Amino acid sequence: MTRARSLGREARRKAVSGEGEPAGAAAVPPAPDRAALREAALAHLARFGTTRHGLEQVLLRRVARWRARAQAAGLESAAEQAQQLAAVCAEIAQDMVCLGAVDDAAFAHARARRLVRTGRSSRAIEAHLAARGVAAPIREQAMRGDEATAQGQVPGTDAANFTRGLSAAEREVCAALVLARKRRLGPFAPPASQNPVDEEMDDTDPSEGWSAGDWDEDTQADPRRRAGRLGRRGQAGGASRALGVLARAGFARDTAARALDMTREEADEWLERLKAES
């Protein structure tokens, strides 16, 4: 009786610690079949918009997780089965396209419009779409935006009932303005604080109280002139930094300069046009 209890405790210890014989076929997780992968695809599409390439990558990651667990369990044919399942993932993604559940053109058009409203440049948007597997012709249509929609090149739109909004160039200016507003640049920059020298300025002759021999323009310059030079330098430096911010975001110099040179009223009107189009 004592020996049986001892053997039972030893078996439980090995089961908890993982010691003993290698895991058998029963420990290998079942491979996802076509039905399971299709269900996973539908569940993903119910929550997220994506492209054909994006959906295929989601399914491939699911297969890769199964492969890692199966190999850890000692299944030698895990790599071969995963390769076969990769072809199934591609077929399921294509099936979703045929059913209309996945539409790269509609995804690209909607995503481009959304990214414009967040201040992304056309270069950044195109790179974003390319990373998600959108083909070059579809990316070009998405970047043209409503111009492509008006010609009926984007599925799900009616050219007869279409009212033209912003052009691609105008939308780029709006995106630059959105970024300028986020960074408080150009027309959205806070008003420059008044120079303390200007606050104390009066109409007194700056040379009053100085003899001709004591006055030196290099060392005793008119405070108004000195303050003016400092102000112009500060404005030039601020404009250069603002242009640099927009340039790093992918905006062309002429687009950035056009946005930064607007008045606040003009900038607000442009952003209202973007909001109305959305």
Extents of the domains making up the chain: 25-99, 104-157, 168-195+222-277
CA distances from 267 to 32, 237, 272, 277 (A): 54, 22, 9, 16
Mean pLDDT of 197-223: 42
**CA pseudo-torsion sign 203, 206, 212, 217:** negative
47: burial class by Cβ within 10 Å (0-12, 13-18, 19+)? exposed
Q: How far apart are CA 107 and CA 127, in angstroms?
A: 15
Span 1-43, pLDDT tens digits: 455 556 455 655 554 444 544 444 448 889 999 999 999 999 9
Three-state DSSP class for residue 121: coil
Are the beta carbons of 54 and 101 closer than 8 angstroms?
Answer: no
| pTM summary value | 0.67
For residues 37, 41, 44, 48, the Cα torsion angle rounded to the nearest 10 degrees is: 160
Higher pLDDT, 203 or 97: 97
pLDDT band at 165 (very low <50, low <70, confident <90, very high): confident
